[in-house]
Amino acid sequence: MSATITLSVARYRPEEESEPTFQSYEVPFRKDWVVLDALIYIKDKLDGSLSYRWSCRMGVCGSCGMMVNGAPKLTCATFLSAFLPGPIRVEPLRYFPVVRDLVVDITDFMRKLKRVKPWIVRASERALAEGEYLQTPEQLDDYKRFSMCINCTLCYAACPVYGLEPSFIGPAAIALAQRYNRDSRDEGSAERMGILSEHDGMWQCTFVGECTKACPKDVDPAGAIQQYKLSGVVHWFKSLI
């Protein structure tokens, strides 16, 4: 087995280059290393100018998402051994503006996420003396899968609709809207339905399903979108009668 593996890393330094380039680095191959370990080795030992994002190294924060050999991945959960003998191509997430090297600007996603109000909306709050809002295990199960989203935006980088129509509100925003719609404590579903029924909402999705394949937390944003579309049809039909 090779003692090293090559990473071909996208570099973009706006003060030096007008277009991204690729730079190759030889890093040690270790069976327990993930792509993020290799990037940290490059930063610490070979080239301190390399820029990328990471935080928890545990698949929780979602900040280390990148394109690895053309597929959106969390680099903290993507093992070098899966790509032997290499090289491994590492690029910034697709469809987002590149700030520097492997760092992208996700302002567009954050703006769209805020639009769907990803929090519990209530018309009125009960008095504290009345106690908390209780849920059964079955009520929790109804939305738990969608609550696992970590805002890594891999689903956006996998979504061809978002690539062609940047106005599309996108899979994660819709999945998180559905997380709160299905929460028994929430009363904001009608407001979210109005937002997601607009031109740039759920109807732009053509159900390619790549978002669900890319999701590292098994959230199934494609399923959430189809559930939302069904609810939208029911809502439209009720409005007629």
Query: pLDDT tens for residues 116-171?
Result: 999 999 988 888 899 999 999 999 999 999 999 999 999 999 999 999 999 999 99
pLDDT at 213 (0 to 100): 96
Task: Evaluate if residue 221 carries a pLDDT over 80.
Answer: yes
pLDDT cut 90: percent of the chain above it:
86
CATH architecture of 4-104: Roll (3.10)
CATH 1.10.1060.10 maps onto the chain at 107-240
pLDDT at 170 (0 to 100): 96
Task: Evaluate if residue 1 carries a pLDDT over 60.
Answer: no
Could you tell me the pLDDT band of residue 232, with boundaries at 50, 70 and 90?
confident
Task: Evaluate if residue 241 carries a pLDDT over 70.
Answer: no
Could you tell me the pLDDT band of residue 237, with boundaries at 50, 70 and 90?
low
Task: Evaluate if residue 87 carries a pLDDT over 80.
Answer: yes
Phi/psi of residue 108, nearest 5 degrees: -60, -45
pLDDT at 239 (0 to 100): 67
How many Å apart are CA 54 and CA 78, to the nearest integer?
13
Of residues 33, 52, 40, the one with CA closest to residue 91: 52
CATH 3.10.20.30 maps onto the chain at 4-104
Of residues 241, 209, 239, 240, the one with CA closest to residue 224: 209
pLDDT cut 70: percent of the chain above it:
96
**What average pLDDT does the segment 202-218 reach?**
94
Sequence-separated (6 or more) residues with CB below 8 Å from residue 59: 74, 76, 77, 150, 216, 217
CATH architecture of 107-240: Orthogonal Bundle (1.10)
pLDDT at 40 (0 to 100): 98
How many Å apart are CA 145 and CA 171, to the nearest integer?
14
Burial of residue 194 (CB within 10 Å: 0-12, 13-18, 19+) is exposed
> How does the average pLDDT of the chain come out, rounded?
94
